[in-house]
Amino acid sequence: MNKPEKFAPANITPADMDAERLVTYPTEAFLSKEYLEAEKRLLWPRVWQMVERESDLPNPGDWMTYNVADESIIVLRKDDGTLRAFHNVCPHRGRQLVSVPDGVHSVRGNNRKTFICGFHGWTFDLDGQNIYILDPQDWHGKLTPEMTCLSDVKVDTWGGYIYINMDPDSVSLKEWMGRAGEILDHFELAKMHYKWRQWAIYNCNWKTAIEAFLEPYHVAGTHTQLLAYGNYYALSRQYGLHSVSSYDTRAPEFQMSESSGTTRAGKGDDARRSTYELIRENYETVNYSASTETLVAAASRLVDELPEGTPPQEVIAHWMASAKRDDAARGVIWPEVPPEIMAEAGLAWGLFPNQNILHGVTFALCYRVRPYKDDPDKCVFESYALERFPEGEVPETEWVYADPTGENWGSVLAQDFSNMEFVQKGMKSSGFRGPLPNPHQEQKVINLHRNLAEFMEGRGAPNLLDV
């Protein structure tokens, strides 16, 4: 008899990562159909997953589907304002309760009081209880509510997002978010709203896609034009399930906490000019995100408002103070983020398994990636910008399908797209010996594989190379 395949139990530890040890891992997580099938059993049904912004389901009766791999979940808001989530499947003979055709982003609606299955008409209320069965006497009175109700899914919220978890025994969302959640709470993401949101079906594995946005180590090679404006040396750290990257400096004497995120000094002798040039270039070429109009406008005035020779730290302090004043004047009040939190919060967070948040005090640039059908070479890629807007000025947005071009996504994202597909192809080469991620700058990538291996019974586990 065939024994079940044995997987190497070895995995690296958080301590290995903190010590920045050399690792590699196999490419099966990106390429293997067997791995993709195993994700359906071992990963997606067991992790907290972001569904949508809470503001997309504002009213009682609002509902939507969240779809990942073979799973579809209905999330809805009840009359009392609470959220509920159910597996999108009829308990009679298994029709999807709400039809989710291939290639749609999500199915949504409002004013829902019941869900009626399109096959034989079984009907469910917003608590998932069955309230109508045709000819129930044919089951001889033996059907119980437990047999005929919808299957419950855990739902919770954090940072203005709705999350679900299909595992009834999972830890709470708060525990799942851990220290990463505590740090990001200071940025009051819940008060931000969509500025734009786009998605595409893209030709690479979901991990290949999310990893293209996890580390700034690729900036010098991919976004070469940005080197004219700033330095992009980075560091990264694991926080258990999640991880963070920050800008770093190769020379310790230049390290400062202000420089960990996007609101930092540019490169060159005149920080008044370079800071403006850096933020303007970033803003305009990253699809008007990762900063705000207010920050760019305040930076444009630095050269008029400060004397020549003002040291970088003073330039940044002045810039932040005037942008904060400008925003307050239009009704956008900045959260007070303590300096030590600002430093620890860094540039961007990778939230396990498939969510990225590059945060600021009034903005965030975010990504989420999911598998597409049963194809390890495809994914559903999403990116969106959040911003804190004055009351009454929140723009109306919806998910827009956008082919991965510079016109649709900005020239910087187009540069990222120009790699991802070819990473997916390149990893299939018989001459590829396995990834050699940078232990200092690409720890978020390593941490993703370390955590994946924990869920995936050891499949794809990183191994130490420096033993």
- Residue 224 CB, shortest distance to Fe ion, in Å, is 11
Give which of Fe ion, ligand FES, none residue 95 binds (C-beta under 5 to 8 Å, depending on kind). ligand FES
64 binds ligand FES (CB under 6 A): no
Residues that bind Fe ion (CB under 5 A): 416
Measured from each CB, the residue nearest to Fe ion is 416
Residue 415 CB, nearest distance to Fe ion (Å)?
Answer: 6
Torsion of CA 253, 254, 258, 264, to 10 degrees: 180
* Nearer Cβ to Fe ion (39/416): 416
- 416 binding partner (options Fe ion, ligand FES, none; Cβ < 5 to 8 Å by kind): Fe ion
Binding partner of 120, given Fe ion, ligand FES, none, CB within 5-8 angstroms per partner class: ligand FES
Site track 66-95 with ligand FES (rule: CB under 6 A), x = hit: ------------------------x-xx-x
Contact 439, 29 (CB under 8 A): no
Report the sign of the C-alpha dihedral through residues 413, 187, 387, 324, in that order: negative
- Using the contact rule CB under 6 A, the part of the chain among 120-128, 235-243, 285-293, 321-329 near ligand FES is 120-128
Residue 90 vs 241, nearer CB to ligand FES = 90
- Residue placing its CB nearer to ligand FES in the complex, 117 or 177: 117
Beta-carbon neighbour count of residue 344 at 10 Å?
18
Min dist CB 219 to Fe ion, Å, is: 6
CB atoms within 10 A of CB 137: 8
Reduced to 3 states (helix: H, G, I; strand: E, B; else coil), residue 238 is strand
Query: Hey, what are 231's tokens?
Result: 């330095």
Q: Is 466 exposed, middle or buried (0-12, 13-18, 19+ CB in 10 A)?
A: exposed
Q: Which residue, 93 or 325, is less far from ligand FES as judged by CB? A: 93
Binding partner of 103, given Fe ion, ligand FES, none, CB within 5-8 angstroms per partner class? none
Question: What whole-number distance in Å separates Cα of residue 108 and Cα of residue 95?
Answer: 18
CB nearer ligand FES, residue 103 or residue 121: 121
Report, in Å, the least distance between residue 263 CB and Fe ion: 18
Looking only at residues 90 through 119 of this chain, which bind ligand FES when binding is defined by CB under 6 A?
A: 90, 92-93, 95, 117, 119
φ, ψ at 280 (rounded to 5°): -65, -45
Tell me which residue of 303, 271, 267, 299 sits closest to 283, measured CA to CA.
Answer: 299
Which of Fe ion, ligand FES, none lies near 390, with the C-beta cut-off 5 to 8 A by kind? none
> What character string, x for contact with ligand FES (CB under 6 A) and - otherwise, covers 175-214?
----------------------------------------
Nearer to ligand FES, 121 or 331 (CB): 121
Smallest gap from residue 99 Cβ to ligand FES (A) = 12
The smaller minimum CB distance to ligand FES, of residues 90 and 155, is found at 90
- For residue 438, which of 164, 275, 248, 260 has the smallest C-alpha distance? 248
Q: 92 or 154: whose CB is closer to ligand FES?
A: 92
CA distance 438 to 432: 17
| Token pair in block for residue 346 | 């860094």
Residue 306's alpha-carbon distances to 85, 230, 279, 310, in angstroms, are: 54, 20, 17, 7
E strands, 229-342, are: 234-239, 242-247
Q: Can you point out the beta strands (E) in 311-392? A: 348-351, 355-359, 363-372, 375-387
Least distance (Å) between residue 142 CB and ligand FES: 17
Binding positions for ligand FES, rule: CB under 6 A: 90, 92-93, 95, 117, 119-122
